[in-house]
Structure 1
Amino acid sequence: MNRVLCGLAANAALPSELVGRLVAVADADVAMELAGRADLSHAQAVALASRVEESAVRLVHGGRLTAADIDPVARPDAALALLDERSGNPEWAFLFAADPLSERREKLAACPGLPPDVAETLAADPDVRVVAELALWTTPDVAAGLAGHPHAEVRRAVAANEATPPAVLAALITGEGLPPARRCLVCDREDTPFAHDPRCARLHCDLPPGASCDGSHESTVHDIRQAALENPATPTEAVVGFAGHSSTLLRWALAARPDLPPQVYGRLAADTVPGVRAELAGNPAIGEPLIRVLADDPDHNVRRALAHHPHVPPDVLSRLAVTTRIGATLLPRIATASPAEAEELAQSPNPAARMLLARRRDLPAGIRDALAADPDAKVVKSIAPHPGLSEVQLRAMVDRHGVRVVAKVAANPDAPPALLEDLARHEPPVQKAFREIARHRDATGPALLACLADRQARPIAAGHPALPPPVIVELLSDTDGQVAEAAAANPSLPLAVMKDLMPQR
């Protein structure tokens, strides 16, 4: 890979003439970068697809090529991509339905809007992978017809298809009204009874860990049920009985459903497996009484999931903030807190609660400023990137709390250039601050030069347009390929240098 040419191909300031010259000499790596350019002309896209066939699919998905540009025989992958975008010639579907390569028929089976005759052909395909792919994406009537397919893998795909009729999904769970499956992926390949060793050392074995068949296709039947439980179209009455099932995976899938009766949620809240309870804790459908029960759960992951619940009461959330590592994220309940709730949280004696509120970026000026002056460094660290803070406020944060807040102050979109330069020279240095400064829109040349000394910030700084052009040129020969590529993609790279970098035909 030529990292410099890849960077150049992605450079937004590269003139159209030079884009055309790159197209004429592009290899696969450069072509992938060129295919993503917003200013690539139609003629350049056609030329690029002709030179590097692998780029055609990306060009199709980017809307740069049409059916008129593609020969389905010469470029089958691009033609299939057009069919997937509903932009291909409908006649191509008949061509690929008879393609000798099953991989192409499988790709076709996933395309939307297939003609009925093509869907019928694919439904009878001798390769079960093709039929399963069709079953996963097809229309309700075709899915219903495939529910009784003799291969259990096809039924598993039908169970995962959200277009499958509810009554059919219920039948797949119980098996009632459907003929027994005759084959599965396990008994296709192994003499039964067979249980796949999770530590299987066979090089070309792709059976899932734990796959088994004793003639009843039990592992695939389990997978069918799990897919149906995860399918929102499956009727509630068909799934409630799984709350006491012996399979953890089935109970886990059930706990995520938003349509269960309260008593079923209550039973799942007492599940012995923490993962099931954690899945339930994040379920938006559970009510406040159960939320308060789960807030006292001994498992940390359950409480953390509950903190992300969109309807958790503020008082419960304040308690969770003390006992649970939530992470540096804006919680849904904080994002939707009313002005009165926000005011209450801002005045909470619990710094963890104030810290949660400080992660919002749309706070009224009064609350924002009060949190910016908070005595707790964790609160200040959370509020530091909030827009609207003045240079005086940002400098005061650094003066009070030092290295604990420097990186977050540097991330503030309104941090002025002079402050960024000072932060880049802060003693002791703060590594994370260099990365924030390097990506800041108002970073200056001197600040960026300081960032170049940090290994992780160096490739970010190399792509910043405020970096002095002579430095950008020097970085083109950096021993770190990421840095050289970023420098080549820098829009401040001089035009004369861009021309000099062009390979000769």
Structure 2
Amino acid sequence: MRDWEKEKTASDADAEREELERLAKDWDWHVRRAVALNPRAPLEILRDLAKDPVQWVREAVAGSLQADTEILDFLSQDGDGFVRAAVANNHLATPEILEDLSWDEMMDFDYSLSKNRYIVQEAVAKNPNSPEEVIRTLTEHRDDGVRAAAVSNPRVSGDVLFKRRIDQSWAVRTAVAKSPAVSVEILDYLAQDRIQDVRIAVAMNPKTSSGSLESLAADRDVEIRAAVASNPSADQKTLEALSRDWAWKVRETVAKNRATPEGVVRALAEDADQSVKKAAEARLEGWI
């Protein structure tokens, strides 16, 4: 039976060192894991817990921002894939560790997607500490989950994004559209994508051109028009047009957008739909 009181103490950032040392040796692995997750856990305790027989404890150590390179290097060679994935997710992992893990093909079945995922390689692909060559290599991976993760890395290069804009996987193209490094030209191209999720990502990106936003504002899909309505870069003309949209969800989103002119918001405060009216009134209160 779990001792919730001990777990609470083990998680307390103000817990005394002596108390954490004692709890790190507790018979219940849940308590030991709580110590490993404690942001104030001393390095010496983490070193001991990195050798814990229970994988969930080692995984917690691998994800700790208190762990040093020695611990992460040790756990990057752990026999459990979830532990190695936690190391790959850790932003303290060195480029050398991440390069080694980029070859790790550990897979886990994702029931939400009904497919196997390369959990270690996906983590490496997303980690901003990964070397540029590793990121570039992973954008060519046979699995679209790994490619999408690599494309989402903030250090991905522009030429890679340009190439992946025509990826056969909509998940990868969506990741391209969401990238903070994506160019306006690529967004203009993806604004015409046949897949809804890709166009939504373009519609929500603040870097999308006014021309593409105007085009997407006329999309027959309500979700896409609502996405445009939420974009802080949408111009006054586009927001005014969307404020007259037949879908209440679009008009409500226009009312919530801080880029929407006061006159448009005042008009929406008289909307027949209560959700739109409430959103507009809330905005007007902020101007008073």
The one of 243, 246, 254 aligned to 1:403 = 246
Alpha carbons of structure 1 residues 262 and 104: separation in structure 2 relative to 1, 3 Å: same
Count matched residues: 255
Q: Is the 8 A contact 1:240 1:260 kept in 2?
A: yes
- Of 233, 238, 258, 2:128 maps to 258
Maintained 8 Å contact 1:106/1:129 = yes
d(CA) in 2 for partners of 1:266 and 1:135?
Answer: 33
What is the CA–CA distance in structure 1 between the aligned matches of 2:105 and 2:271, rounded to whole Å? Answer: 57
Give 2:119's match in structure 1, choosing from 225, 244, 249. 249
Match of 2:160 in 1: 290
Aligned 1:20-419 pairs, distance under 5 A: 102-137=3-38, 138-175=41-78, 221-247=80-106, 248-323=118-193, 324-327=198-201, 330-334=204-208, 345-346=209-210, 351-352=215-216, 360-361=231-232, 368-369=235-236, 372=237, 380=238, 383-384=239-240, 397=241, 403=246, 407=251, 411=255, 414-415=262-263, 419=267
Measured against aligned partners, the alpha-carbon deviations of 1:469-499 in whole angstroms (never above 9, x if no partner) come to xxxxxxxxxxxxxxxxxxxxxxxxxxxxxxx
Q: Secondary structure at the match of 2:153?
A: coil
Alpha-carbon separation, structure 2, partners of 1:358 and 1:418: 16
| Aligned AA (1:407) | R
> Using a 3 Å threshold, how does the CA distance of structure 1 residues 353 and 259 change in structure 2: closer, same or farther?
farther
Q: Contact between 1:262 and 1:286, CA under 8 Å: does it hold in 2?
A: yes
Aligned to 2:111: none
Which residue does the alignment assign to 2:274?
434
Q: Distance in 1 between matches of 2:157 and 2:254?
A: 41
State how far apart, in whole Å, the 2-side matches of 1:267 and 1:330 are.
28
Partner-residue secondary structure (3-state), 1:441: helix
Which consecutive segments of 4 or more residues in structure 1 shift more than 6 A?
353-358
> What's the CA shift for 1:232?
1.0
Distance 2:87 2:104 in 1: 15
C-alpha separation in 2, matches of 1:142 and 1:330: 45
- Shift in Å, 1:437: 1.0
SS across alignment from 2:60: helix
CA distance in 1, matches of 2:242, 2:21: 68
User: Which has the bigger relative contact order, CA under 8 A and spacing at least 6?
Assistant: 1
* 1:442-474 Cα shifts (integer Å, max 9, x gaps): 79xxxxxxxxxxxxxxxxxxxxxxxxxxxxxxx
The offset of 1:222, in angstroms, is 1.2
In the TM superposition, residue 422 of structure 1 has moved relative to its aligned partner by: 5.9
Deviates more, 1:222-231 or 1:132-141: 132-141
Q: Is this contact kept in 2: 1:417–1:442, CA < 8 A?
A: no
Segments of structure 2 that go 5 or more residues without pairing to the other structure are 107-117, 219-224, 284-288
RMSD: 3.5
- Structure 1 pair 119–439 and aligned structure 2 pair: CA distance change class (3 A): same
> 1: distance between equivalents of 2:2 and 2:213?
67
Q: Cα offset for 1:101?
A: 6.8
- Find the residue that maps to 2:142 and give its secondary structure: coil
Output the amino acid matched with 1:104: E
2:76–2:101 contact (8 Å) kept in structure 1: no
Offset of residue 438 of structure 1: 3.1
State the match for 1:477 in structure 2: none
TM norm structure 2:
0.75
How far 1:310 moved relative to its partner? 0.8
Q: Is the 1:252–1:279 Cα contact (8 Å) retained in structure 2?
A: yes
TM-aligned CA deviation for residue 357 of structure 1: 8.0
Q: Distance in 1 between matches of 2:9 and 2:213?
A: 60
Pair 1:362–1:124, CA change in 2 (3 A): same
Structure 2 residue identity aligned to 1:223: F
Between structure 1 and structure 2, the one with the greater Rg is 1
Shift of 1:262: 2.5
How far apart, CA to CA, are the structure 2 residues paired with 1:136 and 1:349? 44
Q: For 1:14-45, what per-residue CA distance to the aligned partner results, in whole angstroms no more than 9, with x for missing partners?
A: xxxxxxxxxxxxxxxxxxxxxxxxxxxxxxxx
Structure 1 unpaired stretches of 5+: 1-99, 176-217, 335-344, 373-379, 385-396, 425-432, 444-505
How far residue 141 of structure 1 moved from its aligned partner, in angstroms, is: 2.8
Residue 67 of structure 2 aligns to a residue whose secondary structure is: coil
Question: 1:225 deviation in Å?
Answer: 0.5
